[in-house]
Structure 1
Amino acid sequence: MNSVARQMIWKQLNCIGGIRTITTFTRFHEYLSIRRQQAVKSLLIQVTNLNSAQEVRTYLQSNFGPLQALYHYSIPKKGKGASVPSPVSSQTSGDYHWLLAEFEDPQSARECIAKCRHADGTLPFNSSMCWYRQPKSSKKQRRQKVDDGVAAEDEFPEIFSERLEGQTSPPDYRKVKTLSEQLKVLEASSKLSELGIRARFFVASQLELAFANLFPRGCVLPFGSTVSGIGRQSGDLDLVLVPDSSEIFTETDANNNAELLGGGKEGDDGRLYYQSKLFTANSSNARFQAQRVMETMADVIQLFVPGCTHVQRILQARVPILRFWSEFTDLQCDLSMTNASGVHMSELIYIMSQLEPRFPTLLFAIRSWASARKITNPVPGRQPTNFMFVLLLIYFLQKRQLLPTLDILFNNAGIKDQRVTVDGIDCSFLRDKEQIMKHFSPQTQGESAAELLFDFFEFYSEFDFNSKGVSLVTGSSWGKPDTGPLYIQNPLERHLNVARNVSKEEVIRFKSECCSALWKLETSWNSIHHSDKNSSTSGSSSPTLHDLLLTPTLDSGSSSRSPGASAQDQRFQIKELFTK
């Protein structure tokens, strides 16, 4: 990417405090590169309270260089993490306070880190995470210094403040009238904020820095909903350590990222090679080797990386992971090493969210509905996962000819689109939006998000899961290759069934809940969708989105009947209502 194009993207992404809107399509690897650069130029600083922010801003800009963005956030002291061991925490009452400061120049960040000191009684470890010590001068002197300032630009950037909590109060849907507007309110209140995105990339950056000597060509990347445009503020953080960043980035971007991180690109004409251990990704002992490496990584995280606690080694899973808690950002993190295909799958979803603007709106509603009705479960098991609902929504929009089938992307991939992971998974697909639109013309029927949500429930309430599977590659249903209750083909590893663990009872209950949601929307559609025409009031008497779809359900175990029987009875009653 040339300098002019990069400057254009920077203007889109950096609006005083961060992202506001992205008006043009930004390719996924460019988006990742920019977010990683933001993280490298950032410091996470623990402070006493919000009042310290202006003083820290003045100190940073007067000593090291101008700031690009500055965010304040607080974390409640209660929670999964232990108390943060620093002199600041002993002075703070109520919450822990943090500043995430991004410099304009990466050199300024490096100089600032070089000036950091190690506190007595701690393990010396260099990172971009620190705490701010108040100067010994009196309050009056500090106030005078801030008032005098070093320059008028110290007032920039504006300090954005936020409280990081997993649970937030539900939005007030009665402020808007139509169901489509309420869906947008739900999306705006649930989606990952700019600070949330930056915090997640910052965690990845710190792990990458910790493993830099072990994996000099590697990178640590967030994947999943965090990077695909559908992240929620309450979501966990999925991370992958890619030993060779060329699996994800082009050679040019990989070299640019290496230079930004303080390294250099490898020469292509040298005659000297590093002595290194062999890493045999496709051999019989590759899994064992990866597990042993991850054991070492777990020790590094537990013993050295500040703010990382409660490290769990879940190494016998199909994809081995390390689970830990990031106290400084209040995030549960899952780190894998052999899951580069997860980043490419995230890119596919990212492309879909760029091609169809109603896709994120619908997905936030469907995931919230599934969570409220206890169709999904955060712990993998017999119930569907959020990822399955992402694929089901894409398939539905493909059937409506609003999104392209994935074979269009796979069959038209160019040379620059070629990606193959070290374990042999072909992740080559067309990545340029303009090129995609040459092969696919979406239907422009003008349905609202509410109408599409109605059709989604209708579509899957009638879908024959018993005999048909779902394929996003062809965009069509097909005879299931196995006898499992639910078959959703993995788009990248096509021999795998994403829903292989889902039970028959849960599939029946999913269809039953679709019927119930469809009936509720059907009976109240006119009062919500046309309230602005039928009433001069605000429509406060009409059922809201929460009343219709987001009312929590009771535990299924409270019923004396089996889940299957209950679902079948409910579906029969609802079908009778539709035939009247």
Structure 2
Amino acid sequence: MFCFELFNLKMTVFFQTGKFSFIRKCLNAPICNSIFLRNYSDPVKKFKSFSDVIAERKAEARRSLVVQVNSDTSFNELYGYCSKYASIKDIHHYRNSEKEHFMLIEFETEDNVKEVLKACSSHQKDVDVMAIESPFLWFRAAVNKKEKYSCPSTKKLTIKDGIEPVDDDVLYDELLNCETVTQQIQHLYERTKLNDLGVRLRFMVARQFELIFKSLYANVEVQPFGSSVNGCGRMGCDLDLVLSNVVTEEMSDPRRRLVYQENWASAAGLTSPHPGRWITNFPLTLMVLFFLQQKRKTGFVLPPLKVLVDRAGKEDIRIAEENINCTFLRDLNKLPQEEYGQCSEDLHTLLLQFFEFYAQFDFQEHAISINRGVPIRKPNALPLYIVNPLDQAMNVSRNVSYEECERLRLEVRNAAWILEEGLEGKKGDDWGVLRLIERKDSRGLKQLLRVGNSHRLVSVKDLFREDDEDVPVAKSKKTDEEMDKNVKEMSRVNVEKKEQKIKFKNSQIASEVFRIRRNKIV
């Protein structure tokens, strides 16, 4: 949430599909699309603060209901029935993974929701379950068949099948027919991003949990964070929720002597703030922001956080738990235009530069800090050090192992080689970003066996040579059948030598084989 609030410049992504291991995570990090497409003659964009966006979404959820229906044709009757008791603003239709039909109804006010629930909701006598107060209901058939409800002809569904995911094959063809890599990146984002209805449903889920927890805890709120609200979300992505304790000055009056007990699991040490040994989306997001702060020939995209801290006013002061200072400029309309968006490169060039930047970055000696916008010396010997922008004494990537840091370097290097080929303007059946994300076996295998770019292909048998003789590297002209035969041969060699220690020509080839084995591709 911090990154969106800090750089609320209509955050978007390079692209994301959610089905492709490490490179997909790198590409899922946010980037400012409005800056790329903005010309200096364009009018200045009016920015909306992150807190305002969250407040609007929460207000939408409080005046909305989700109703399970028989089909999208239930719209007329549902609208006619509910509009008798309250004013309806919009109705959105979607289907879940089980192809069940639902409609999200947004009313004009919160009171409208209360009026509808009071006049229309009921319980089932013939079902032995405990009903709960909830904004999620279902619309049953009318008892009196003669009673008909309808809506004006001018009223239509706002959207039908609002969260239907794009078909992979259709998306592949669309990307194949794009003119440039930049168009591929933009199109992939537009076709897979978390849309308005997807965001609404996430806030409805948060609303449901909030109603449940309020019966257990005092003064709490539940809201989404991460990709669901920072512009990085894709259709079908998971939902991260945070339960916050909202305490006003009145609630914390020291003259009140009866004090509520505190969340037991944290006090007992049952929860842990540390993730696994893999890099996560938050560090990757910081890596993207850090890259965009680097000055290049055509300028830079984002300023260091220090610029926003220095420009903060009294209204921007925020002190979080444990006295963490979260103060920085929140109204980006006060930020001069020359402080951001000076870069004129297209998405293709920027994405290539992102991979090249981290392929050459000295992770052994330097740390990443968006506060300063320049590499700083690492305070310890951890493999990867990315400074927490709000608590600069903390490394948000301290969990990342040495092996995963090496894999990071390997993957960004390989991605840079692939995108560099795209600059030549050649188009095949897997050109541009398709080489990075395509997972079909025939193309995926070629990519995994590729060491470098097109003139760095090696023979499968060379991976398992036990001598240190130099092997000439030449461009491969093998067909798919020959490559499949080589894969089978490699698998046979694996079985025959499973008790032997395989010697590799160099560490680079060893890393490639280790990656292939770990991913169980071969």
Under a length normalisation based on structure 1, what TM-score does the superposition of the two structures give?
0.63
**2:396 is equivalent to residue 498 of structure 1:** yes
1:112-511 mapped onto 2 (5 Å cutoff): 112-115=116-119, 116-120=121-125, 121-138=128-145, 141=146, 145-146=148-149, 149=150, 151-152=152-153, 155-156=155-156, 158-163=158-163, 171=171, 172-244=174-246, 276-278=258-260, 289-292=262-265, 315-318=270-273, 380-400=275-295, 401-437=300-336, 441-442=339-340, 444-511=342-409
Q: Which amino acid aligns with 1:227?
A: V
Please state how far the C-alpha of 1:42 moved relative to its aligned partner.
0.5
Going from structure 1 to structure 2, the CA distance change for 1:429 and 1:514 (only over 3 Å counts) comes to same
Deviation sequence 1:463-483 (CA, Å, 0-9, x none): 111111111111111111111
Please state how far the C-alpha of 1:506 moved relative to its aligned partner.
2.0
Contact 2:223 2:243 in 1 (8 A): yes
Going from structure 1 to structure 2, the CA distance change for 1:227 and 1:158 (only over 3 Å counts) comes to closer
Deviation sequence 1:352-377 (CA, Å, 0-9, x none): xxxxxxxxxxxxxxxxxxxxxxxxxx
Matched residue, 1:302: none
Contact 1:527 1:542 in 2 (8 A): no
SS across alignment from 1:382: coil
Please state how far the C-alpha of 1:126 moved relative to its aligned partner.
1.4
Distance 2:505 2:68 in 1: 50
Matched residue, 1:565: 507
Going from structure 1 to structure 2, the CA distance change for 1:517 and 1:422 (only over 3 Å counts) comes to closer
**2:94 is equivalent to residue 73 of structure 1:** yes
Matched residue, 2:56: 34
Going from structure 1 to structure 2, the CA distance change for 1:210 and 1:517 (only over 3 Å counts) comes to same
Q: Which amino acid aligns with 1:514?
A: V
Contact 1:517 1:549 in 2 (8 A): no
Matched residue, 1:82: none
**2:103 is equivalent to residue 103 of structure 1:** no
Deviation sequence 1:399-431 (CA, Å, 0-9, x none): 132101011122332211111223322211111
Matched residue, 1:516: 414
Contact 1:47 1:97 in 2 (8 A): yes
Contact 2:61 2:207 in 1 (8 A): yes
Distance 1:132 1:53 in 2: 11
Note the aligned Cα RMSD (angstroms).
Answer: 3.6
Distance 1:506 1:272 in 2: 49
Contact 1:509 1:564 in 2 (8 A): no
Contact 2:135 2:208 in 1 (8 A): yes
Going from structure 1 to structure 2, the CA distance change for 1:163 and 1:34 (only over 3 Å counts) comes to closer
Distance 2:237 2:504 in 1: 32
Please state how far the C-alpha of 1:564 moved relative to its aligned partner.
9.5
Deviation sequence 1:504-563 (CA, Å, 0-9, x none): 2222222222222222222231215xxxxxxxxxx676724212554476799x996799
Going from structure 1 to structure 2, the CA distance change for 1:442 and 1:236 (only over 3 Å counts) comes to same
Which has the higher mean CA deviation after the structures are superposed, 118-127 or 402-411?
118-127
Deviation sequence 1:59-94 (CA, Å, 0-9, x none): 111x222222211211233xxxxxxxxxxxxxxxxx
Please state how far the C-alpha of 1:485 moved relative to its aligned partner.
0.8
Distance 1:447 1:245 in 2: 46
Please state how far the C-alpha of 1:124 moved relative to its aligned partner.
3.4
SS across alignment from 2:355: helix
Matched residue, 1:10: none
Going from structure 1 to structure 2, the CA distance change for 1:199 and 1:119 (only over 3 Å counts) comes to same
Q: Which amino acid aligns with 1:185?
A: H
Please state how far the C-alpha of 1:569 moved relative to its aligned partner.
7.2
Contact 2:79 2:151 in 1 (8 A): no
Contact 1:65 1:103 in 2 (8 A): yes
SS across alignment from 1:39: helix
Contact 1:471 1:491 in 2 (8 A): yes
Distance 2:322 2:264 in 1: 15
Q: Which amino acid aligns with 1:543?
A: W
Matched residue, 2:452: none
Please state how far the C-alpha of 1:394 moved relative to its aligned partner.
0.4
Distance 1:421 1:454 in 2: 37
Distance 2:281 2:506 in 1: 22
Distance 1:561 1:53 in 2: 67
1:79-98 mapped onto 2 (5 Å cutoff): 95-98=99-102
Q: Which amino acid aligns with 1:160?
A: K
Distance 2:190 2:203 in 1: 21
SS across alignment from 2:67: strand
Matched residue, 1:58: 80
Please state how far the C-alpha of 1:24 moved relative to its aligned partner.
3.0
Distance 2:191 2:361 in 1: 31
Q: Which amino acid aligns with 1:117?
A: S
Distance 1:167 1:274 in 2: 59
Distance 1:410 1:563 in 2: 51
Which has the higher mean CA deviation after the structures are superposed, 123-132 or 102-111?
123-132
Please state how far the C-alpha of 1:193 moved relative to its aligned partner.
1.1
Q: Which amino acid aligns with 2:507?
A: A
Distance 1:165 1:210 in 2: 30
Please state how far the C-alpha of 1:229 moved relative to its aligned partner.
1.6
Matched residue, 2:499: none
Please state how far the C-alpha of 1:278 moved relative to its aligned partner.
4.5
Distance 1:167 1:381 in 2: 32
Contact 1:46 1:132 in 2 (8 A): yes
Contact 1:409 1:429 in 2 (8 A): yes
Distance 1:189 1:161 in 2: 14
Contact 2:77 2:151 in 1 (8 A): no
More helix, by proportion? 1
Distance 2:132 2:55 in 1: 26
Contact 1:53 1:159 in 2 (8 A): no
Distance 2:315 2:205 in 1: 29
Please state how far the C-alpha of 1:567 moved relative to its aligned partner.
6.2
Please state how far the C-alpha of 1:499 moved relative to its aligned partner.
1.1
Structure 1: which 5+ runs fail to align? 1-20, 78-94, 252-265, 280-288, 296-313, 320-379, 529-538, 571-580
Structure 2: which 5+ runs fail to align? 1-33, 35-43, 450-490, 495-501, 513-522
Contact 2:182 2:347 in 1 (8 A): yes
Q: Which amino acid aligns with 1:189?
A: R
Contact 2:163 2:198 in 1 (8 A): no
Going from structure 1 to structure 2, the CA distance change for 1:521 and 1:165 (only over 3 Å counts) comes to closer
Q: Which amino acid aligns with 1:398?
A: Q
Please state how far the C-alpha of 1:242 moved relative to its aligned partner.
1.3
Distance 1:294 1:435 in 2: 42
**2:433 is equivalent to residue 545 of structure 1:** yes
Please state how far the C-alpha of 1:169 moved relative to its aligned partner.
5.5
Pick one of 12, 20, 25 that aligns with 2:47.
Answer: 25
Distance 1:42 1:563 in 2: 63
Contact 2:67 2:102 in 1 (8 A): yes
SS across alignment from 2:287: helix
Contact 2:166 2:191 in 1 (8 A): no
Please state how far the C-alpha of 1:36 moved relative to its aligned partner.
0.4
Aligned length in residues = 408
